[in-house]
């Protein structure tokens, strides 16, 4: 009896540790999306419903947690890229991935900042990036080979496009959080081959008043 009880206890502890790990990572993902890198480990502990010591036992500092969260994001991106590569329509597959990526970065306030933070660890950043890069290149090459994409457009152009959309999303978020979709459609129309039908613009342009409000909000953020 005593032997059985003693043997069972470590298994329960391991299961508890795994659950706590998952709760911490999910809380961190939510908070980095909402607040960016201003999030602290104390904030993560509170959101996860665990003690601060539990977080610090698993992550010595915030950078370790950032890297873990980024790795999960990269896994999601890799899955999306693989789905795009398997799409029966090469152009639709490319659009599907770019829309997923832009939706992801627009909804995650801290994503671009996390990428910059991880560039201080070039080996880890490169290994994570390389999980996605070849598949995205294959998606782009397939669309070009099908005649749906302008022949001069290459895979790195889409990484730049995603960051451009992210910057626009951050600028316009206070006045129209969906405005980035308009400019994504404009960008996709710009890279299509001449024979590919143009996409309708899903969101209207900002008014002059909205531009001024967005600029004012941006300036206030810089002052803080």
| pLDDT, tens digit (0-9, with 9 covering 90-100), for 73-85 | 888 889 999 999 9
Q: Are residues 44 and 84 in the same domain?
A: no
Q: Are residues 176 and 206 in the same domain?
A: yes
Quote the pLDDT of residue 119. 62
Q: Are residues 51 and 152 in the same domain?
A: no
Quote the domain boundaries for residue 176. 62-223
201: left (phi over 0), alpha (psi -120 to 50) or beta: beta
Q: How many domains does the chain have?
A: 2
Q: Are residues 85 and 53 in the same domain?
A: no
Instruction: Among 39, 60, 81, give the residue marking a domain's end.
Output: 60
Band (pLDDT 50/70/90 cuts) for residue 150 is: very high
| pLDDT, tens digit (0-9, with 9 covering 90-100), for 80-126 | 999 999 999 999 999 999 999 998 888 776 666 666 666 666 676 67
* Least confident span in 11-15, 19-23, 27-31, 92-96: 11-15
Q: Are residues 38 and 67 in the same domain?
A: no
String of b and e for 145-180 (b: at least 16 CB within 10 Å)? eeebbeeebebeebeebbeebbebbbbbbebbeebb
Q: Are residues 46 and 126 in the same domain?
A: no
Question: What are φ and ψ of residue 50, in 5° steps?
Answer: -125, 165
Instruction: Among 36, 60, 84, give the residue marking a domain's end.
Output: 60
Residue with tokens 């070039």: 122
Q: Are residues 117 and 195 in the same domain?
A: yes
């Amino acid at each position: 009896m005593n032997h059985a009880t003693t043997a069972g206890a470590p298994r329960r502890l391991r299961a508890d540790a795994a659950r706590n790990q998952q709760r911490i990572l999910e809380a961190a993902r939510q908070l980095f999306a909402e607040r960016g890198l201003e999030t602290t480990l104390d904030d993560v502990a509170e959101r996860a419903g665990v003690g601060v010591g539990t977080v610090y036992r698993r992550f010595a500092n915030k950078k370790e947690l950032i890297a873990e969260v980024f790795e999960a994001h990269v896994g999601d991106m890799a899955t999306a890229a693989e789905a795009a590569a398997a799409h029966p329509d090469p152009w639709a597959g490319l659009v599907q991935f770019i829309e997923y990526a832009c939706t992801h970065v627009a909804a995650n306030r801290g994503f671009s900042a996390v990428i910059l933070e991880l560039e201080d660890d070039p080996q880890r950043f490169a290994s994570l990036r390389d999980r996605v890069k070849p598949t995205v290149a294959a998606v782009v090459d397939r669309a070009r080979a099908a005649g749906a994409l302008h022949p001069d457009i290459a895979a790195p152009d889409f990484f730049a496009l995603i960051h451009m959309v992210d910057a626009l999303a951050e600028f316009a978020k206070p006045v129209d959080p969906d405005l980035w979709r308009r400019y994504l459609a404009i960008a996709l129309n710009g890279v299509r081959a001449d024979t590919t039908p143009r996409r309708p613009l899903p969101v209207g342009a900002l008014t002059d008043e909205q531009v001024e409000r967005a600029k004012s909000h941006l300036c206030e953020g810089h002052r803080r």
